Amino acid sequence: MSSEHPIGRRPGDPEVTRAAVLDAARSMFAEHGFEKATIRAIAAEASVDPALVLHYFGSKDKLFVSAHQLPFSPEDVESAIFDSDLDGLGERIARFYLSALAVPGSPAVSLLRATATHEEAAEMLRTFIDLTLMGPGLETVPGPDRRFRMSLVASHLLGVLFGRLILGIPELAESDLEDIIRPLATTFQRYLTDQI
């Protein structure tokens, strides 16, 4: 069984091919983690030769980075979460992050999975948290320990994502997302605005 396409440039828009590679990369990284998502498998999923992947992205590391641009901008988060009074803050955080990220194949899950074995992915995820949760909007949270409080929030979010999408704890994986958001909202509100 030889390749699908003849050698040489194919007609049409190359951007389509490039996008297909990125899609395949995201899906493979999300499902298998960094090392087990092989360039060969990604290329196959995109119906493309492995060498083309490297032609576009240079190396597997760079491909990973390219495939994990933020799904939303830090400004989106700021306005969705912090641009209101403190009262509903916990709920807004829980709802925004879980509904955006707690879906199979989400780049966040891919990042989370790869984080476990790939320091570059860990760095990216730390940056993501820093830019979105620890950004300027955090200033509205009172107290000198606001970063620590927010890190408790982050840890719970991470744990839910991990337990639901990677580990597959049944009670987390099969519950309606709203049922998870509710108790988390209360916890987050307490972490951010109450005595802890």
Partner DNA sequence: TTATTATTTCAACGCCTGTAGAGTTCTGAG
Partner DNA sequence: CTCAGAACTCTACAGGCGTTGAAATAATAA
The letter for the amino acid at 171 is E
Considering beta carbons, is residue 47 or 175 the nearer one to its own copies?
175
Contacts with its own copies in 116-135 (CB under 8 A)?
116-117, 122, 125-126, 129
For position 5 contacting DNA by CB under 7 A, the verdict is: yes
- State the binding partner of 144 from its own copies, DNA, none, CB within 5 to 8 A by kind: none
Q: Is residue 23 within 8 Å of 56, Cβ to Cβ?
A: no
- The site that binds its own copies (CB under 8 A) totals a number of residues, namely 47
- Contact residues for 121 (Cβ-Cβ < 8 A; gap 6+): 34, 64, 68, 111, 114, 115
Q: Which stretch binds DNA (CB under 7 A): 56-64, 86-94, 127-135, 144-152?
A: 56-64
Considering beta carbons, is residue 18 or 156 the nearer one to its own copies?
156
Closest distance to DNA from the beta carbon of 34 (Å): 8
Helix/strand/coil for 169: coil
Return the structure tokens found at 74.
């830090």
Among 1, 11, 119, 195, contact with DNA (rule: CB under 7 A): 11
Q: Is residue 173 within 8 Å of 165, Cβ to Cβ?
A: yes
Query: What is the per-residue DSSP string for 133-152?
Result: TSSGGGGGS-STTHHHHHHH
Angle at 116 between CA 137 and CA 150, to 5 degrees: 20
CA separation for the pair 59, 25 (Å, rounded)? 12
Closest distance to its own copies from the beta carbon of 101 (Å): 13
Q: What is the DSSP code (8-state) at residue 88?
A: G
Closest distance to DNA from the beta carbon of 129 (Å): 27
CA separation for the pair 180, 83 (Å, rounded)? 24
Q: Which stretch binds its own copies (CB under 8 A): 77-85, 86-94, 98-106, 110-118?
A: 110-118
- Residues contributing to the site for DNA (CB under 7 A): 2-12, 14, 17-18, 35, 37-41, 47-52, 54-55, 59-61
- Residues contributing to the site for its own copies (CB under 8 A): 32-33, 35-36, 112-117, 122, 125-126, 129, 147-148, 150-152, 154-160, 162-164, 166-172, 175, 179-180, 182-184, 186-187, 190-191, 196
